[in-house]
């Protein structure tokens, strides 16, 4: 099994070495090599549907242990920036990767805004609106 190369010293807070040294820890995240990360980010940038996004979330958790939560922000959603994308803390997950995954998802949503609309609908966009009739 190929594992991710270490980040340059003092550049990242991923705790990769502590993860490797601790017996019995979930080390799936270390399988995300830089080459595999590029493939993942490209895949997230080219989402096809909300179901595709949900499938990618499931696969990232299943294969790497990464939990990504995507939901409309608490304030008004005027752009893709209004959609919150949060990644749970995970030892071994590089700081740069924690930033790249949400950026790639946002690019995917910007390319296919209908996915964002479905996401908003799935989270009851009109929950605080008065009835129309």
* The predicted structure's pLDDT at residue 71: 85
**What's the pLDDT band for 122 if we cut at 50, 70, 90?**
confident
What's the length of the chain?
A: 133
Q: Is the pLDDT of residue 127 over 60?
A: no
What Cα–Cα distance (Å) separates residue 75 from each residue in 40, 72, 79, 112?
29, 8, 11, 22
Name the pTM for this structure. 0.84
CA-to-CA distance for 127 and 124, rounded, in angstroms?
A: 5
Q: Stretch 43-60: mean pLDDT, rounded?
A: 96
Q: Is the pLDDT of residue 115 over 60?
A: yes
């Amino acid at each position: 099994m190929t594992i991710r190369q270490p980040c340059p010293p003092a550049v990242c807070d991923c705790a990769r070495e502590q993860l490797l040294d601790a017996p019995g820890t979930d080390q799936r995240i270390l399988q995300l090599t830089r080459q595999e990360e590029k493939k993942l980010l490209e895949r997230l940038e080219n989402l096809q549907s909300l179901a595709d996004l949900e499938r990618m979330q499931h696969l990232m958790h299943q294969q790497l242990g990464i939990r990504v939560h995507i939901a409309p922000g608490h304030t008004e959603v005027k752009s893709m920036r209004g959609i919150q994308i949060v990644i749970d803390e995970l030892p071994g997950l590089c700081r740069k990767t924690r930033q790249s995954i949400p950026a790639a998802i946002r690019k995917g949503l910007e390319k296919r805004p209908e996915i964002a609309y479905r996401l908003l609908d799935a989270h009851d966009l009109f929950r605080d609106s008065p009835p129309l009739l």
